[in-house]
Amino acid sequence: MNSIKSFIPKHRKKVLISKDFREILITQNTSIIEQRIIVMILSAIKDQQSELLSIKQSLKNRETQLSFDDYYEGWANQGLVEFIIPLAQLNPQHFMKNSAIQEALVNMTNINWMRLKDEKINGYKAVPFILEPSWNHKFIYFKMDKAVMKNLLNISQYYSFLKELINKTSVSNTLRFLLWLLKFKKIKQVTKEYEQILKELNIPANKYEGSYRFDRDFLKRVKVDLDAYNDLSFNYSRKEDVFQFVLYYTKESIGNKEFPTLESLQIDRALNYLKIKRKLNEKQIRIMKDLFEIRDYNTFSKILKRKIDNHLYGEDYIKAVFKLLEKTKG
């Protein structure tokens, strides 16, 4: 493979993330700016990821297996590679202050930012994600250690997500939770206890004061982002401290419809969920749609969060909804 002096991000629809690096980011509390820098890095190395994947597949049934250093002997022996990130790509709408970007770069040089497996000691070692950051009014520059690069390029198992998501997301938890969800993409559903979710996301047990707050302050905001800006999203239900998640592709859910407002998008998502969950026919869906539009999405959603027997379907569910509305009058 040819020697590469520096990596520059390219326009991509999707970026690839290795299984190892995905697991690091799930448990890492990163800011949106740091996540944007990471996505820029992934877009810059996608060609090398794809090439490495192609070579590995061609050698899959052969006895000869090349090491990471064999693939990248052109620069791996130097120990470091350089990245050049145009500020116009990192901050296209100029929403981020230059001082905040610089702070994120410095933070990513902290030795506590990343922990990598160290096979020599059968344990872990702390390493900075990037080295020697610098910047001017057009570009940011930094270097990366071979050990970190190896973690990004080892895509024998990998996942993909839309590159533009990180430019539109409203909270840093969106990418973090999406990466957690991707593990269950093939089976399209997962059931987890609240405490286990926190543990897998490395969130302190007392962060949200219970599953209700986690639902309200974490999941709802993440879902709005993924529904609006990503090709994969989720519906979910909560019973006491147990969450059930169902994954779906947003295009399959909404077809070719266009939504003039976020609320109309949210209503459509809710109706799709209720149609399956409560086995509603088209007439019953229209009734629910009218109720959402009359009451507005947020108000009516709060009402529906109140307990309605999980075993009520179709017409029985509609009747239960109207009984609930009667109780909430005034």
CA atoms within 13 Å, Cβ hemisphere of 246: 13
pLDDT of residue 78 exceeding 60: no
Question: Residue 65 — pLDDT band, cuts 50, 70, 90?
Answer: low
Question: Residue 330 — pLDDT band, cuts 50, 70, 90?
Answer: very low
Question: What confidence tens digit (pLDDT) does each residue in 121-168 have?
Answer: 888 888 889 999 999 999 999 999 888 888 888 777 889 999 999 988
pLDDT of residue 109 exceeding 90: yes
Which residue has better confidence, 119 or 190?
Answer: 190
Using CA atoms, how far apart are residues 146 and 140, in angstroms rounded to an integer?
20
Share of the chain above pLDDT 90, in %: 39
pLDDT of residue 232 exceeding 50: yes
pLDDT of residue 49 exceeding 70: yes
Question: Residue 264 — pLDDT band, cuts 50, 70, 90?
Answer: confident
Question: Residue 58 — pLDDT band, cuts 50, 70, 90?
Answer: low
Using CA atoms, how far apart are residues 325 and 321, in angstroms rounded to an integer?
6
Hey, what amino acid is at 123? G
Q: What pLDDT was estimated at residue 76?
A: 46
